[in-house]
């Protein structure tokens, strides 16, 4: 099977709704010969709600618009200072399934964080990547039983993930917090978890530009999502 190089497109800072529509249009129009794409962008402030999203997880949106989407997961926030990556991948051609696709996206984020000296962690049953708030640079693994009442104790979420697969083809993707206003996260239960802390590279002491983080994440995604 012919491997087609993923095309990386830097979209800049764009509104969410037209980008969401463009992803759907691209996916509906593509066929088995269409090269995969990776769209990298930054959004103006918006809350996006997943298919299973419950309205009571949106506590006080105030002046920030809420957009209902067809991705998995609950509510999250997108805003300036966050790198949003949308892999538009033909999984059938790539030769792996959704569970591995999610794992590969998370691994790309973990490797991106490692580039900046930060250790990223997975939490079972809660897609996305987390860091230790007290010591984000520690290489120690998360150990011990997770308290069901507080599975995120001591952790902050630094990357959120939500995907959609249509006819074996993916859209939506992953958002990595770089240097952003985190206050809007306090107006929702991020990803459906009340009290879940959210952080970014800047808050944990990493001085990286949006462009630098976007470049590293793009390279890791292209590498790890390859067939």
Domains in the chain, ordered, with CATH?
Answer: 7-224 (3.30.930.10)
Outline where DSSP puts E strands in 61-135.
66-68, 76-78, 82-88, 121-123, 126-132
Question: Of the candidates 6, 5, 101, 84, which has an alpha carbon nearest to the alpha carbon of residue 40?
Answer: 84
Name 181's Cβ contacts closer than 8 Å, sequence gap at least 6: 79, 80, 81
Q: How many residues does the chain have?
A: 227
Do 40 and 64 meet the contact criterion of CB atoms below 8 Å apart?
no
- Report d(CA 169, CA 76) in Å as an integer: 23
The residue to which tokens 């990493």 are assigned: 206
Element housing 109 (H / E): helix 98-115
Q: What is the predicted pLDDT for the residue at 155?
A: 94
What's the pTM value of the predicted model, to 2 decimals? 0.95
- Report d(CA 110, CA 132) in Å as an integer: 13
Do 189 and 59 meet the contact criterion of CB atoms below 8 Å apart?
yes
pLDDT per residue rounded down to tens, the chain (227 residues): 345 678 999 999 999 999 999 999 999 999 999 999 999 999 999 999 999 899 999 999 999 999 999 999 999 999 999 999 999 999 999 999 999 999 999 999 999 999 999 999 999 889 999 999 999 999 888 776 556 667 788 999 999 999 999 999 999 999 999 999 999 999 999 989 998 999 999 999 999 999 999 999 999 999 999 99
Do 213 and 201 meet the contact criterion of CB atoms below 8 Å apart?
yes
Do 161 and 182 meet the contact criterion of CB atoms below 8 Å apart?
no
- Report d(CA 194, CA 150) in Å as an integer: 10
What angle do the packed helices 98-115 and 210-224 form, to 10 degrees?
140
Do 76 and 166 meet the contact criterion of CB atoms below 8 Å apart?
no
Catalytic residue numbers read: 191
């Amino acid at each position: 099977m012919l491997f087609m190089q993923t095309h990386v497109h830097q979209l800049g800072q764009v509104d969410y709704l037209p980008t969401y529509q463009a992803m759907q249009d691209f996916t509906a129009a593509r066929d088995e010969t269409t090269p995969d794409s990776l769209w990298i962008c930054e959004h103006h402030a918006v809350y996006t709600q997943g298919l299973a999203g419950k309205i009571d997880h949106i506590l006080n949106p105030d002046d920030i618009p809420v957009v209902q989407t067809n991705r998995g997961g609950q509510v999250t926030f997108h805003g300036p200072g966050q790198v949003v990556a949308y892999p538009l991948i033909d999984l059938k051609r790539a030769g792996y399934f959704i569970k591995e696709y999610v794992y590969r996206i998370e691994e790309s984020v973990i490797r991106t964080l490692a580039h900046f000296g930060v250790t990223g962690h997975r939490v079972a049953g809660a897609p996305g990547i987390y860091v230790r708030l007290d010591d984000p640079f520690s290489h120690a693994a998360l150990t011990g039983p997770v308290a069901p009442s507080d599975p995120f104790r001591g952790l902050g979420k630094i990357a959120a993930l939500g995907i959609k697969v249509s006819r074996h083809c993916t859209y939506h993707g992953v958002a990595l917090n770089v240097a952003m206003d985190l206050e809007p996260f306090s107006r929702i239960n991020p990803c459906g978890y009340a009290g879940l802390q959210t952080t970014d590279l800047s808050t944990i002491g990493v001085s990286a530009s949006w462009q630098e983080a976007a470049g590293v994440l793009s390279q890791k995604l292209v590498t790890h999502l390859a067939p």
